[in-house]
Structure 1
């Protein structure tokens, strides 16, 4: 079922929920998917949602300035931290008191903010392809914690491509740019099928009704992200999925985050990069479902 969620004056988010297989079941615990920067909720692959819906009521949504949600950053700018509040507003709109939450890339940063500010709303958390608050791309400035070595940054080829992110292009050129972006994000540890990601981006463009990319999240304020020291107090069980071939947040980002969390644990998906291609869907789904199982998440209740 699709719906729109009002999260701020003049700002609406598109959201969609999937009933657990077999129909609506009040005993099925909800699971919220939080996607990365400048990415529609459709970037969560349907086969992944199908597997998660074996047990959960699954919800995905479009961030501001993506998909069918409001595109108005230039008129109503916001901070990355505001997007974490948006995720809570989506839960409120669906009448969900507590949920398992899964965040990828920037979505993993938002989940960390939810763990700190709204722990009572989370049954469990899973983050993947991300970095700890106050570290790497989740720093409010260019300084590192005194005495700590700087973690590795994104692949220089990605940094060069990101410089072109917001440039105007016609539809075909934009799709070509996005497919190349996915090729770099995917890395070399698993096969990259250009047709798979071209089909994805064609769906995303049809869903949004536009092909431009304002790169709003790259321009959003990063104030309030230097909160890494608070992660040690997190009581919600949190799984960190490490993608060893991730060109954005390569190891040791995931290991650092799992150690920083009060109740973090780490699993690795061999060969995975910064993309949910068809070869990694099954192991990622299995890791999420293990984390959301009653035995794993029960301590958060």
Structure 2
């Protein structure tokens, strides 16, 4: 072989080195594809979790809507309660007015019975005077009878008159006794009736007190219902704010999911490029495998 001709052994050495590099690159490429596969799987899990979380957020939104509906029904119940309380207050007011009128009537009856008792007392005084006069008249009739007996025949007519006067006085005493008994019965009945009126007045006073308490309780119920309406308004405001925040969060997850999908798309493209590079590596490997025989044949032809 002439000295000026150079050996192609370095070329074979470069080819062997390239093969080593190619093997290393293929291994790294395989590792890269495996890592891309893991990343794609992780992003798939992330997307699934994002979808699950989005469904939960939608459930939260539905719950907020349900709470708002229940709150609105509470307002309807409050209006019904308010109407019922208003009607009850009107009835209580009428009852209170009637009770006050009855109390006035009891006051008038009490005044009337006081006047009646005073009149009965005056009647008793009068009957006592009549009894006293009848007794005096009876005494005078007895004295007249005695004097008429002393007068003899001249006093006979006067004695008859005296007897009649005594008889009349006795009848007056008997009549006043009956009147006194009737007055006593009237006094007893008026006293019992007065006690009954006093008892009824006490019961009526207690009833009016209870009526006033009931009216105040209805006022308290109305105020409580109004406070509940205020609470409902606050709840509605908080729910509306929560729904707006929830919607913003859902929009954010939709945006993030879109970005995840773009990343997954790029990962798929990178995997596809890795597959293409694998094909290219195989082609390079085939070409490098063909070069040593060609060089060997070339060197043998030069000998």
Is the TM-score greater than 0.5? no
Q: TM-score, normalised by structure 2?
A: 0.14
User: In terms of Rg, which structure is larger?
Assistant: 2
Q: TM-score, normalised by structure 1?
A: 0.15
Higher RCO by CA contacts (8 Å cutoff, separation 6 or greater):
2
Query: In proportion to residue count, which structure has more strand?
Result: 1
